[in-house]
Amino acid sequence: MDSSLPFAHLRVLELASVLAGPQVGQFFAELGAEVLKIESPAGDVTRTWKTSAETSAAPAAADASVSAYFAASNWGKTSLVLDLTTAAGQAQLHLLAASADIVLASYKPGDAEKLRADYPTLSAENPRLIYGHLTGYGPENTRAGYDAVLQAEAGFMHLNAAGPGHPPQKMPVAMIDLLAAHQLKEGLLTALFHRERTGRGALVQVSLLDSALASLANQAATRLVTGHDPQPLGSGHPSIVPYGTVYRAAGGRQLVLAVGSDGQFRHLCAALDRAEWAANARFQTNAARVAHRAELEALLTQRIAEVNGDDLLAELERRAVPAGAVRSVGEALAQPSAQAMLLPGAGGVRAGLRTVAFRSPQWPERAELNTPPPLNSASYSLEKPLP
């Protein structure tokens, strides 16, 4: 391991499973930490979450226990199977935790205590230990948290509907899990900073519900400020027009505009050869465009359908008007600008995706994670100390 990477000195035990906790584990692994994933004898449940494309494909060189879902969050780790319902498994965990810096857990409240894997127990012999605990609804609520349920309960599915009267719609990635992962990273980094000053570890608790509510941002502020519930607008924006609506240009190209200022709107109108729209009192300001949303959207839909989409996008880029093509996942990953986010295949897994999207010239970029997602069989031996 490159000792100049930011977390090259850190040892992380990952007791968490599914997505949020493992995302945090891979984050630390990508930045140099040694991350040991502790799994029950049944293994992380996401090992079994396979798409029909995976199950119908010919057997690959990789172990069948590494699903695409599991591979999304487990690069750069080693694994160890421990049965924490047994005294022997608990003793082995305590031995490992005594020299760890961070423990990641995602137990329902009360379960960690039953397994003797809770913060008071593990920190008793390691006061510098930082313990990150993810729950669904907070440390006092034993209800299990699942992303789809939280998307519904926190307002996201309501807002993600195609429009008023349309059915609520779940987002296609586990967005609440990912938001909670980011909250936990922030909490752990804060705890690491605090430990540098005090020498003491900390318990960091993050719930999916709190993470979801914190991320409602302007939608929650609208409800709190106005007293009115935000309504679904499809991909449109409640307070900016045109912003987010999908248009279809001649030739079938679908594109999105993100016009955030009156100056950008004037440039859009010029690019569409409709400069008079920018002078129209109904559209001169963003407030006016919001008030006359339906009229403007109808005009834009008709006009954009008459022009070549790629030519329009090029002209908008030249004029510094925010716009982009609607791409599939494959198209997005194939872009030249996306290549730095991809991990080369290893261990029979074709490729991976980084969780760390920031860079700094002050430390070297870890060009390659030298271990693929761990197979279901243990890749770590208790005969050797935690690296």
Catalytic residue selected from 177, 229, 262, 310: 177
pLDDT by residue (tens digit) across 99-112? 999 999 999 999 99
Mean residue pLDDT across the chain:
91
- Pick the range with the lowest mean pLDDT from 125-139, 165-179, 182-196, 332-346: 332-346
pLDDT by residue (tens digit) across 293-309? 999 999 999 999 999 99
State the burial class of residue 378 (Cβ atoms within 10 Å of its Cβ: 0-12, 13-18, 19+): middle
**Placement of tokens 């009360």 in the chain:** 110
Contact 147, 69 (CB under 8 A): no
Active site residue 83: no
**Mean local confidence (pLDDT), 156-181:** 94
Quote the percentage of the chain above a pLDDT of 70.
92
Query: What is the pTM (predicted TM-score) of this model?
Result: 0.89
Q: Which strands, in side-by-side order, build the sheet including 254-258? A: 243-248, 254-258, 323-325
Tokens of residue 116, six digits: 């003797």
pLDDT at 346: 66
At residue 14, φ and ψ (nearest 5 deg) are -105, 105
pLDDT by residue (tens digit) across 214-254? 999 999 999 999 999 999 988 999 999 999 999 999 989 99
DSSP 124: T
Give the three-state DSSP class for 113.
Answer: helix
Q: Could you tell me the CA-to-CA distances from 221 to 180, 207, 216, 225, 290 in Å, in that order?
A: 20, 21, 8, 6, 18
Quote the percentage of the chain above a pLDDT of 90.
74
pLDDT at 347: 60
Residue 349 has pLDDT above 90, yes or no: no
At residue 312, φ and ψ (nearest 5 deg) are -65, -45
